[in-house]
Amino acid sequence: MSLTRVTITGADDATDPDDLQKLSEEFPFVEWAILVGSSTGPRFPTAEWINRLVDVRTETGNIMYLSLHVCGKFLREIANGHSSLRNYLEWRLFAFERVQLNWHGEKQSSSVSQNVLNAFCSLDVGGWDPQLIFQLDGVNDQLYLEASRRFACTGLFDRSHGAGLLPGEWPQAHKEIGCGWAGGLGPENLGEEIPKISTKACKVMDFWIDMETRVRSDDDMTLDLSRVKRCLEIAKPFIGV
Amino acid 161: pLDDT: 63
In b/e form, how buried is each residue of 122-161, taking b as 16+ CB within 10 angstroms?
ebeeeebebebbbbbbeebeebbbbbbeebebbbbbbbbb
Q: In sequence order, what are the beta bridge partners of 132?
A: 99, 153
pLDDT above 80: residue 50? yes
For 10, 93, 127, 204, 210, the CA distances from 35, given in Å and listed in that order, are 6, 13, 23, 30, 13
Q: What is the pLDDT of residues 198-230, one digit of tens each?
A: 999 988 789 999 999 999 999 999 999 999 999
Contacts of 46 (CB under 8 A, 6+ apart): 13, 40
Average pLDDT over residues 177-195: 95
Number of domains in the chain: 1
Which domain range does residue 163 map to? 3-238
d(CA 12, CA 41): 7
Amino acid 127: pLDDT: 82
Percent of the chain with pLDDT over 70: 98
Q: What is the pLDDT of residues 130-144, one digit of tens each?
A: 999 999 988 888 899
- CATH number, residue 66: 3.20.20.70
d(CA 19, CA 185): 22
d(CA 109, CA 113): 8
pLDDT above 70: residue 163? no
Q: What is the pLDDT of residues 88-123, one digit of tens each?
A: 999 999 999 999 999 988 899 989 999 999 999 998
